[in-house]
Amino acid sequence: MTAMTTNWIEIGLLEDIPREGARLIRTPSGCIAVFRTAGDEVHALDDRCPHKGGPLSQGIVHGTSVTCPLHNWVFDLSTGLAQGADEGQVATYPVRVREGVLQIAAGKLAAER
Amino acid sequence: MTDKKKLVVIGAGMASGRMLETLLEAAPDAYDVTLFGAEPRGNYNRIMLSPVLAGEKSYEQIVTHDGDWYAANGIACRFGETVTRIDRNAKTVTTAAGETPYDKLVIATGSAPFIIPIAGRDLPGVRAFRDLDDVEAMVEAAARPGAKAVVIGGGLLGLEAAAALRSRGMEVVVLHLMGHLMERQLDPAAGHLLRRELEGRGITVHTQAQTKAILGNERVEAVLLDDGTVYPADLVVMAVGIRPEIRIAVDAGLDVERGIVIDDRTFTSDPDILAVGECVEHERVCYGLVAPLYTMAGVAAKTLLGEEAAFRPLETATQLKVTGVSLYSAGDFADGEDRDEIVLRDASAGIYKRLVLKDNRIIGAVLYGEAADGPWFFDHIRNRTDISDMRETLIFGQSYQGGAPLDPTAAVAALPPEAEICGCNGVCKGTIVTAIETRGLTTLDEVRAHTKASASCGTCTGLVEQLMQATLGEAFAVQAVKPVCGCTHLGHDEVRRLIRAKELKSIPAVMQELEWTSSGGCAKCRPALNYYLVCDWPDEYADDYQSRFINERVHANIQKDGTYSVVPRMWGGVTSAAELRAIADVVDKFDIPTVKVTGGQRIDMLGIRKEDLPEVWADLGKAGFVSGHAYAKGLRTVKTCVGSDWCRFGTQDSTGLGIAIEKFMWGSWTPAKVKMAVSGCPRNCAEATCKDVGVICVDSGFEIHFAGAAGLDIKGTEVLGHVATEGEVMRHIVALVQMYREQGHYLERIYKWAKRIGLDEIRRQIMDELERREAYYERFVFSQKFAQVDPWSERASGKDKHEFKPLATLELEAAQ
């Protein structure tokens, strides 16, 4: 793979994820949560809250944020940054929808891990 | 007489009338006045044309200056004579009758209605709403039975016309280009209320309506919109705005932009010609409302007398003159970062008040439903009053501001004794104060018990508390209403009330109608709203699982490591060898690390992987288990002792009763978890006296307890009452829980709700009021029809599969 091209991997269909919901993708080095907002934006983040490791995929999705189910930390889905008084960041991954098919960037996956 | 200066006035409208009146009062002999008016009648109050159209006033009642008034003041009236030319060099004006000289000339030609340049605009039956001729034509059109009118323009004038025509029996459609009515004066919320009011009167309102053409052969027959909609019409009223009447000034070579340009003293570009009214433009602004025009007229009068005066643009206020609608708007009420707002809503009474503040000053006000305080707010806008000292009570208006110090308590103290405090029970201030004073009441509960104030829906609790503070002094501490979350300024009570009053049946509808400030809510309000909607519309509302906390969404309890725990229901805490064997098998099969007996007399299996949950439930289901709802804001357990079956002290079948209660009530959602217990005798082995609801069996029957707590707070229960039979126990407990379901704030346990509502009030409704108890009971039973579905068996059969399976599993190669 060269630096100029991105290798997109198909991971499923947009409609497989409920609006204001999330699904998991398992990778050899951990789980990634793929979120779908009410406006059909998609975002991919590590499924691990930097606070106590809570599975963000299980949180309530509101606007373009998710609230961790364990202790209510809130993260912005596009930046992975903790909101409000909490400090922390979750890794994000490029993800896109092409004709209803969800694709995640393999390069970022490999590079980050 | 002859040495008096000659004043000629073109236009006999409201502005010129006011100017002449002011002028003649100050100096009756300063000028010889000649007045030209195009309309063949005197000056009338044009803003009262709507009541004339509605038939509520006659022309005679709205005349401000008739021929007699002008004659008595020595004004030469030349009505019906049109001025065609101004000769600035010769200082004369020309009419069909010849030339009239002037020393000073005032142009007050007003404005003409704006007619949209579309096909059919000249057809007979198309009218403006500007003068008495228009009104007469409209009255005539309305006289025909079944006649239809289309009003183009949902602004002030258009709506007044629409309401008046409707009251004359016409079928009326209002077409409005913008998204909400009166968008220049109202914010969307008030526009919505106004629309609802008009629709309630049978007026059709079509917003975002782009008129394409007016159709008809001989006369108007219909109006066609861009989107293809056609509205049949016998009368079309164009009320889309006005344009200053400037022709004569343009011809005279005066400085004219949109209107005739004047300076602060109302001079045009010619020092001998002044202009006032709707025809002028001052500092790039044209005025159409009467208040600034009257001010301008006063300035012109002074200028004519050589006095110093300057027209300063003023904030303008608007009031809609439609009988039965009170609406007032003033100032600037757009949203902005540096702005703050105070909103008061009462959906059931149709009241909406919004004040926009900036730097502790009111800059805008919108009042709907109750507009009496409009002028008072308007005063503060104009005077730029610093309102910091009365901010908390500001929205209540002037009558609340009597005397210092201005705090909420003082506001309540300033209310008259007959002011109603509690709408549900019709309790007025005087009754409450008398009760506090004569009976020596010191707590909210006592006030509720004695007066019933704040004892039903609880929304007036704040007012009652303030009243108590005002009466009892500092000793009484008032609690402020807390908003549900940062997405709204409304408290739980208000949200619940509005959901019912406005019949809101989805989360987006609530957020829209109640003006949530965030786009999709937050993790705090979404589950609350979901519960309120499930509770209020059990048959109609589609439960939004994405708004539920994960435990309720997947029907298991999330643990710190992301695994789940599962607690099957053991009715009344009774189990069997077969059940225990099934549990043991499941534990082995799924390698479940921990098995624990819970405080609610059942068994918890902890550490189950999420994707195993459906299979675990399938196996448990085969043994007859259903979900124990150990994760739910809902009925959890009914703990029992062995009762009269085995115990030598048992007085009743506490086990059987506990099982019956659990079987009747399982599956119901509640504001917070509900734990119950039934003890077979006062020794209370089931620990019923620290539960949300508990029953203590005694020889003579059953003592029902409620509002206990054994968590963050420890609190013994209160006695609800004593009943004789198991059937009565069931009806009372169910009614109690339903009352709590309907009134509780989300996450508020029964003991907190009871403290808020008042123990005595709950006792009264459940123990004493048979009808009310039965109604609660019936509503619970109805709701259970939709709630009693075992969520585990649904999911074991494939429901919400996406919750339990990963979307994809990426291999090492693919990821590299």
How do residues B173-198 score in pLDDT, each as one tens digit? 999 988 888 887 777 777 888 888 89
Residues B601 and B670 in one domain: no
User: Which two structure tokens, joined as six digits, stand for B463?
Assistant: 């007012």
Angle, vertex CA B611, rays to CA B607 and CA B614, nearest 5: 95
CA dihedral B90, B93, B98, B101 (to 10 degrees): -60
Residue A48, min C-alpha distance to chain B (Å): 10
Residue of B522, B553, B807, B816 for testing the chain A interface, max A β-carbons within 10 Å: B807
Q: What integer pLDDT is reported at residue B219 of this predicted model?
A: 92
Mean pLDDT of chain A: 88
Domains held by chain B: number: 5
Do B119 and B47 share a domain, yes or no?
no
Per-residue pLDDT, B410: 64
B511 and B532 share one domain? yes
For residue B39, give the CATH number of its domain.
Answer: 3.50.50.60
In a domain, B16, yes or no: yes
Residues 6+ apart with CB under 8 A from B358: B336, B338, B339, B340
Q: Which residue has the tokens 């020393």?
A: B103
Q: Do A23 and B802 touch (CB under 8 A)?
A: yes
Same-domain check for residues B666 and B778: yes
| Whether residues B170 and B201 fall in one domain | yes
- B171 shares a domain with B68: no
Among B200, B219, B240, where does a domain finish? B240
Q: Is B226 exposed, middle or buried (0-12, 13-18, 19+ CB in 10 A)?
A: exposed
* Contact list, A11 vs chain B (CB under 8 Å): 807-808, 810
Distance CA B799, CA B260 (A): 72
**ipTM of the prediction:** 0.90
Q: What's the pLDDT band for A113 if we cut at 50, 70, 90?
A: very low
Q: Smallest Cβ distance to B815: which of A27, A38, A63?
A: A27
Q: What is the pLDDT of residue B406?
A: 42
What token pair was written down for B72? 């008595």
Band (B612; pLDDT cuts 50, 70, 90) = very high
pLDDT of residue B57: 78
Query: Cβ(B637)–Cβ(B676) under 8 Å?
Result: yes
pLDDT at B632: 96
Q: Exposure of B380 by Cβ count < 10 A (0-12 exposed, 13-18 middle, 19+ buried)?
A: buried
Identify which of B110, B96, B78, B97 has the alpha carbon closest to the alpha carbon of residue B8: B78
- H or E element: which one contains B216? none
Residue B816 has pLDDT above 60, yes or no: no
Q: Are B524 and B485 in contact (CB under 8 A)?
A: yes
Check whether B28 has a pLDDT greater than 80.
yes
B527's enclosing H/E stretch is helix B525-536
- Over pLDDT 70: what percentage of chain B? 93
- Tell me whether residue B338 is in a domain: no
B814 pLDDT band, cuts 50/70/90, is: very low
| A56-92: pLDDT as tens digits | 999 999 989 999 999 889 999 999 999 887 889 999 9
Confidence of residue A110 (pLDDT cuts 50, 70, 90): low
- Contact B608/B556 with Cβ under 8 angstroms? yes
- Point out which residues pair with B718 in neighbouring strands: B706
| Letter string b/e over residues B430-454, b meaning 16 or more CB atoms within 10 A of that residue's CB | ebbbebbeeeebeebbbbbbbbbbb
Distance from CA of B488 to the nearest CA of A (A): 15
Q: Which residues does chain B have within 8 Å of residue A44's beta carbon, measured at their own beta carbons?
A: none
CA distance B560 to chain A (A): 7
Question: Taking Cα atoms as reference points, which of B289, B237, B267, B273 lies closest to residue B111?
Answer: B289
DSSP structure string for B119-140:
BTTTSTTEEESSSHHHHHHHHH
Statement: residue B815 has pLDDT above 50: no
Position B322: which residue type? V
Q: In terms of domains, do B556 and B543 share one?
A: no
In a shared domain, residues B558 and B689? no
B521 and B558 both lie in a single domain: no
**Which of B548, B570, B596 finishes a domain?**
B548
- What pLDDT score does B237 carry? 94
Residues in chain A: 113
CATH of the domain at B755: 3.30.413.10
Higher model confidence: residue B626 or residue B411? B626
Nearest-CA distance B356 → chain A (Å): 27
> Is the residue at B23 inside a domain?
yes
Sign of CA dihedral B517, B522, B524, B527: positive
- Distances, alpha carbon B58 to alpha carbons B48, B129, B167, B279, B320, in Å: 10, 16, 16, 27, 19
Phi then psi dihedrals of residue B666, to 5 deg? -60, 150
Q: How confident is the prediction for chain B on average, in pLDDT?
A: 88
* Token pair listed for A6: 């991105």
Whole-number pLDDT of residue B327? 81
Q: Is residue B794 part of a domain?
A: no
Query: Does residue B405 register a pLDDT over 60?
Result: no
Given a cut of 50, is residue B795 above it in pLDDT?
yes
Residue B1's pLDDT is: 45
> What local confidence, expressed as pLDDT, does residue A4 receive?
54
Lowest mean per-residue pLDDT among A17-21, B88-92, B498-502, B522-526: B498-502
Residues of B contacting chain A (CB within 8 angstroms): 518-523, 526-527, 545-550, 554, 558, 560-562, 802, 806-812, 814-816
DSSP, residue by residue, B760-790 = HHHHIIIII-HHHHHHHHHHHHHHHHHH-S-
Instruction: From A113, A5, A90, select the one nearest A43 (Cα to Cα).
Output: A90
> For A17-112, CATH number?
2.102.10.10
The strand pairing partners of B640, in sequence order, are: B678
Do B68 and B213 lie in one domain? The reply is no
Put simply, the answer to whether A60 touches B549 (Cβ < 8 Å) is yes
Rg (alpha carbons) of chain A, rounded to whole number: 13
For residue B733, give its domain range.
Answer: 635-787
Q: How many CB pairs under 8 A join A and B?
A: 99
Mean pLDDT of B294-303: 91
Q: A14, A29, A62: best mutation site toward chain B, by most B Cβ within 10 Å?
A: A62
- In a domain? residue B802: no
Model confidence at B365: pLDDT above 50: yes
Contacts of B545 in chain A (CB under 8 A): 18
**Same-domain check for residues B648 and B759:** yes
Q: What value does the mean pLDDT take over residues B654-665? A: 96
Query: What is the Cα B28 distance to its own chain's centre?
Result: 53
Q: With the C-alpha atoms ordered A84, A88, A90, A96, is the resulting torsion angle positive or negative?
A: positive
Domain boundaries, chain A: 17-112
Nearest CA in chain B to A12: B807
Residue B90 vs residue B467, higher pLDDT:
B90
Residue with more model confidence, B302 or B427 = B302
Q: Does residue B203 form part of some domain?
A: yes
B507 plus B650 within the same structural domain: no
